[in-house]
């Protein structure tokens, strides 16, 4: 694509970033901002990526969003060292603190601090009742439980399904129901009803 057809953030990202910073921090001079930019974002693709972000939404510099990429975090931190007041370092997506963000949430975008990352790991690998670090079960929401604290008091999900079928179809024996359930793959439907004279099981 000829240069004339390229967007400005692709041709001169340094100018876009410098203008965006100076709009927020008018007491800084352009030379300082350019120097910080050259020192923190050394690769042109990084500068183009940040310029594109700021064209779309200049508040990336001041909102402290936990979705901010590392390159923005580095630039903001260095700008603050050089006297910037309004730009804001990204905050942890969990605790909201302006700490170094070392991990990602499950969404793959939200960044969190080291302390929150450790808490998440502990929560995901420790029994939800006694905090024992030995996980034997998980409930349907993925919460971990040790051997002594099986989810839902140890009730097996299949048992609950069989009981529901037995209620709906009292004419069927539990052995028949259990036999069917053993081969039955839950289709994701909620209710179970009896068809005709209780000879077949239908889910709907
Ligand atoms: Zn945190
Ligand atoms: Zn436990």
Other C-beta atoms within 10 Å of 76: how many? 24
**Domain spans, the chain:** 3-81, 101-152, 157-203
Average pLDDT, the chain: 83
Q: Give the Å distance between the CA of 190 and the centre of ligand 2.
A: 30
- pLDDT tens for the chain, 204 residues long, are 555 688 888 999 999 999 999 999 999 999 999 999 999 999 999 999 999 999 999 999 999 999 999 999 999 999 999 999 999 999 999 999 999 899 998 888 999 999 998 887 777 778 888 888 778 888 877 788 888 888 877 666 667 777 778 888 888 888 788 777 664 544 444 344 444 444 444 443
Q: Give the Å distance between the CA of 136 and the centre of ligand 2.
A: 9
pTM: 0.60
Please write the tens of the pLDDT for every residue from 43-98.
999 999 999 999 999 999 999 999 999 999 999 999 999 999 999 999 999 999 99
Instruction: Pick the closest to residue 125 from 111, 108, 113, 137 (CA basis).
Output: 137
Q: Give the Å distance between the CA of 195 and the centre of ligand 1.
A: 54
Q: Give the Å distance between the CA of 6 and the centre of ligand 1.
A: 40
Q: Give the Å distance between the CA of 113 and the centre of ligand 1.
A: 4
Q: Give the Å distance between the CA of 124 and the centre of ligand 2.
A: 13
Q: Give the Å distance between the CA of 118 and the centre of ligand 1.
A: 9
Q: Which residues surround ligand 2, an ion (CB under 5 A)?
A: 127, 129-130, 132, 146, 149
What string of DSSP letters covers 71-103? HHHHHHHHHHHTT--S--PPPPTTT---S-EEE
Instruction: Pick the closest to residue 70 from 43, 90, 96, 92 (CA basis).
Output: 90
């Amino acid at each position: 694509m000829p240069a004339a057809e390229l967007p400005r953030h692709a041709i001169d990202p340094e100018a876009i970033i410098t203008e965006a910073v100076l709009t927020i921090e008018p007491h800084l001079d352009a030379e300082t901002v350019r120097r910080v930019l050259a020192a923190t974002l050394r690769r042109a693709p990084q500068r183009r990526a940040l310029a594109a972000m700021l064209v779309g939404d200049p508040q990336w510099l001041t909102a402290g969003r936990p979705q901010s990429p590392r390159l923005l975090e580095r630039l903001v931190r260095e700008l603050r060292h050089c006297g910037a007041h309004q730009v804001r370092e990204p905050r942890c997506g969990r605790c909201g603190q302006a700490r170094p963000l070392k991990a990602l949430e499950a969404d793959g975008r939200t960044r969190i601090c080291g302390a929150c990352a450790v808490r998440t790991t502990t929560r995901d690998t420790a029994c939800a009742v006694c905090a024992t670090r030995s996980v034997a079960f998980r409930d349907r929401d993925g919460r971990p439980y040790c051997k002594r604290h099986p989810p839902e008091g140890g009730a097996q999900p299949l048992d609950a399904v069989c009981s529901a079928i037995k209620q709906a179809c009292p004419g069927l024996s539990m052995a028949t129901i259990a036999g069917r359930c053993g081969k039955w793959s839950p289709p994701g439907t909620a209710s179970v009803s009896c068809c005709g004279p209780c000879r077949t099981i239908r889910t709907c």
